[in-house]
Amino acid sequence: MAKGKHIAWHEAAQLEKLTNWAANGCTDADIAKNVGISRQTYYVWQSKYADIADAIKKGREMCVQQVENTFFRRIMGLCEEVTETKEVEQKMVDGELVTVHRIVKTTTRRLAPDMTGLIFYLKNKAGYQSEPDVEVDVDVLPTFIYSR
């Protein structure tokens, strides 16, 4: 390996490459391979050079945010509009060739909310507990007296 190879990776364009690779889900090994260094050197660069570490961290955060947004839309139920068009004909109008399109179908696709995903989200993000951690001692339960 050439000495000082990291210097080129401190430039804004190169840092943006690192951010994009991390945002697109590349592993540490993939990023090291793309840069042309070993994984060990990659980890040394991350520990020594804050701008390189920050660029990769920013990309990872972008990737996680995208996954969270997709997951959130999925657990809440998707609703998207799908439009299909079909080419009908080409004709001459005032000496110009014009293509006429016709909308064949516009539909709204809806998916039901994912209940398992909702529970997972609530437990991990909101601290929701479906079963309390409190143990009930049956000896101290209140006694109810029913009279007629």
Give the tens place of pLDDT for each residue, 81-137: 777 777 677 777 787 888 777 767 777 777 778 888 877 777 777 666 666 666 656
Model confidence at 140, in pLDDT bands (50, 70, 90)? low
The pLDDT of residue 112 is 79
- pLDDT higher for 38 or 70? 38
Q: Is 85 in contact with 97 (CB distance < 8 Å)?
A: no
The pLDDT of residue 96 is 81
Instruction: Tell whether the model's pLDDT for residue 139 goes beyond 70.
Output: no
pLDDT tens sequence across 42-80: 999 999 999 999 999 999 989 888 888 888 888 877 777
What predicted TM-score, i.e. pTM, was given to this entire model?
Answer: 0.56
Which amino acid, one-letter code, is at 109? R
Instruction: Tell whether the model's pLDDT for residue 20 goes beyond 90.
Output: yes
Model confidence at 147, in pLDDT bands (50, 70, 90)? low
Model confidence at 141, in pLDDT bands (50, 70, 90)? low
Model confidence at 1, in pLDDT bands (50, 70, 90)? very low
The whole-angstrom separation of Cα 8 and Cα 3 is 11
Ordered by start, the domain boundaries in the chain are 5-77, 79-110
Q: What Rg do the C-alpha atoms of the chain give, in angstroms?
A: 29
Nearest to 22 by CA among 32, 13, 31, 11: 31
Q: Phi and psi at residue 12, in whole multiples of 5°?
A: -60, -40
